[in-house]
Chains A and B, each alone.
Chain A
């Protein structure tokens, strides 16, 4: 059974640029959630995708957007990057959008200069 994978592992962008982060969910999982973890803090929920539809959103501006594909992999897009967007971005997958446990990938570390 393959776990959750994310790419790239690290990247550096400059303020104002756009970035796309990718996530492959664990085999059989149809739900993907994205979290932002700033340095020294706990993860904060960005949004969740269930069967290709956005299924809940945290307190993040619209420049944070996402997609889920028919194979349940997902992308997180961030436009007009700001310095405060520097963080570890975590993807988590689960069997469904209800009570099922979320399993996390290793994360993508984004640095905005």
Chain B
């Protein structure tokens, strides 16, 4: 079984400042990694994903994340945030296997609040 820990439940930052949202995972098998964003009263939107290859992954809205296998981490970063980035961010993992029944396991979420 796998688990995901998002180390910060809330992250307040000022506009145009850099931000890092931390995610650690635990799994007995190799995993795929995802970050989703959820705006108020909406569903989840995929920000970026790591399936294989380069450990630095770029996503939408200027976000990027780095997969660190030795530290079992997948931290999300943005060099300069905007007010519109205020949302809940979820890190998720999925077992790396081609068989059916794979599921996403989510962390508890990090509320990013960007202040003017």
A interface residues, Cβ below 8 angstroms from B: 4, 6, 33, 35, 40-45, 48, 50, 55-56, 58, 90, 92, 97-99, 101-107
Contacts and interface: CB of A to CB of B under 8 A. Distances in A.
Given A40-B109, A42-B4, A97-B101, 8 more contacts: A43-B44, A43-B104, A48-B100, A97-B99, A98-B98, A99-B98, A102-B104, A104-B43
20 contacts: A4-B43, A33-B103, A33-B104, A35-B104, A42-B106, A43-B44, A43-B106, A48-B101, A50-B100, A56-B102, A97-B100, A97-B101, A98-B98, A98-B99, A99-B32, A99-B96, A99-B102, A101-B46, A103-B46, A106-B42
Contacts, number: 69
Contacts of B102: 48, 56, 97-99
B80 interface: no
B51 interface: yes
B100 A55 contact: yes
A104 B92 CA distance: 13
Contacts of B100: 48, 50, 55-56, 97-98
A48 to B, nearest CB: 6
B42 to A, nearest CB: 6
Interface in B72-116: 90, 92, 94, 96-109
A48 B79 CA distance: 37
Contacts of B42: 106-107
Contacts of A101: 34, 46, 49
Nearest first, the 9 closest Cβ-Cβ pairs linking A and B are A56-B101, A42-B106, A97-B100, A104-B44, A45-B103, A106-B43, A104-B43, A98-B98, A55-B100
A45 B36 CA distance: 15
A44 B108 CA distance: 10
A10 B34 CA distance: 27
A64 to B, nearest CB: 14
B45 interface: yes
A33 B28 CA distance: 23
A25 B43 CA distance: 14
